[in-house]
Amino acid sequence: MGNRQYLTRSIDMKFTFHNPTQLIFGAGTISGLGKAVAAYGNKALLVTGGGSVKRNGSFDRAVMSLKEAGVSVAECSGVEPNPRLSTVERGAEIARKEGCDVIVALGGGSTMDAAKVMAAASFYEGDLWDMFPHGQQNRRLPERALPIITVPTLAATGSEMNCGSVITKEESTLKSFVTAPCLYPKVAIVDPELTMSVPTNQTAFGVCDLITHVTESYFNGVDGTPLQDRFAEGVIMTAMEWGPKAVANGNDLEARAQVQWASVVALNGWVQVGTFGPYPVHMIEHVLSAHHDIAHGAGLSIVNPAWMRFAARTRPARFVQFAERIFGISPKHPEDPDAIAEGIDRFEEFLRSIGCPTKLYEAGIGDTLLTRYAEDTVIVAHDAEGRLPGRPAMTKEDIVEVLRSAL
């Protein structure tokens, strides 16, 4: 990922694509959870977050469906936002002790991510942190996992239908990621009704997150991907149309459904096929949420516009395309700086209009640790020269510059 030659043309298109997760989408589909799980095991570890699923009734619905299908249930509750490695270890221990043969995640991205690594822990020898890049010599990816079934309750990360997991090791304040084929859920039950209780701010952060998943490949991917460009633009425009409706009225099931479908598509790999783009905005944001425990989507809404202003200098035509196609801005020429600036300003205004922060101080973050953030970013992701992969590849000084511009 990320080291591929950027000047790829369509005639060079070469890729493989495989997403094995079965997707069951629609209001009320949680009632089919038991049947889906029973195909993979008869004792489930049901992983949940801090309690929202108990307050909104989805926990009871999930348990009822599982029991009706003859699946018995052990519980691991209390996965925190920006999930910690120690929580993953605690859940893995419960799964082991209880003899669970299938893992069910009912919650947001944090719950799903933690559950995935709990599933892999059953077969992983040694320290689970070894599967996450954190500056070590030998990284060992997980090769097997218990079957995972995801039931997202928040539209944001797309974790329900991808093979990624993002975990924080609390002692080192490092947040890192793993992607491995064994972490693909067997089934994702995506029921937009479950998202109706998501608070306004988290709804908005989710919209920002899903948009950022496609802007990463759109701005950092190889050249010559016209269909992927249109997919990405379609996701962005759909999220910009329906996201504000879901923010304005959480009970608008149609808006919830459109946003959730967009969030699935945004990171199940389809939009990114053949783009080979790295995720610099995510890598920088993960450091902020590791140090300050802010919501991932809120951190992205701060970093992304600042990063875009920085990156536009090296790839102006792409940012003109964004301005033109997303906001209908007419450029005076293919690299028109005014169109670029207006496109990014309008994007930032959109984020603000739905209630996302776009400056670090709004998240309570000052300038004292900017160098540390940059150092931590490149520990997790770097090229042969120690730079953060992306277009452009960024030195630590570049990362500091971007963050400083968002103070």
Residues forming the site for ligand NZQ (CB under 6 A): 49-53, 56, 81-82, 107-111, 113, 153-154, 156-159, 162, 164-166, 194-195, 197-198, 202, 206, 209, 267, 282, 286, 296-297
Smallest gap from Cβ 343 to ligand NZQ, in A, equals 23
Smallest gap from Cβ 315 to Zn ion, in A, equals 21
SS3 state of residue 126: coil
Smallest gap from Cβ 164 to ligand NZQ, in A, equals 4
Smallest gap from Cβ 300 to Zn ion, in A, equals 6
Partner from ligand NZQ, Zn ion, none contacting 202, C-beta within 5 to 8 A by type: ligand NZQ
Quick note: the x/- pattern for Zn ion over 196-225, rule CB under 5 A, is: -------------x----------------
Smallest gap from Cβ 76 to ligand NZQ, in A, equals 12
* CA separation for the pair 85, 145 (Å, rounded): 17
8 or 162: CB nearest ligand NZQ: 162
In angstroms, the first-to-last Cα distance of the chain is 30
Number of residues located near Zn ion, criterion CB under 5 A: 1
Strand partners, 179: 164
Smallest gap from Cβ 317 to ligand NZQ, in A, equals 27
**Cβ pair 103, 146 in contact under 8 A:** yes
* CA separation for the pair 344, 350 (Å, rounded): 10
Tally the C-alpha atoms within 13 A of residue 184's C-alpha that lie toward its C-beta: 11
168 or 225: CB nearest ligand NZQ: 168
Check binding of 113 to Zn ion (CB under 5 A).
no
**Cβ pair 229, 218 in contact under 8 A:** yes
* CA separation for the pair 174, 129 (Å, rounded): 11
Strands 187-190 and 148-152 turn out to be parallel
Give residue number: closest CB to ligand NZQ: 108
Query: Can you list the positions of beta strands (E) in 153-296?
Result: 164-169, 174-179, 187-190
Edge-first strand order for the sheet with 43-47 is 22-25, 187-190, 148-152, 102-107, 43-47, 72-76
104 or 339: CB nearest ligand NZQ: 104
Our separate counts of H helices and E strands in the chain read: 14, 8
300 or 320: CB nearest ligand NZQ: 300
Smallest gap from Cβ 324 to ligand NZQ, in A, equals 27
296 or 315: CB nearest ligand NZQ: 296
20 or 99: CB nearest ligand NZQ: 20
* CA separation for the pair 73, 55 (Å, rounded): 19
Partner from ligand NZQ, Zn ion, none contacting 195, C-beta within 5 to 8 A by type: ligand NZQ
Interface with Zn ion by CB under 5 A: which residues?
A: 209
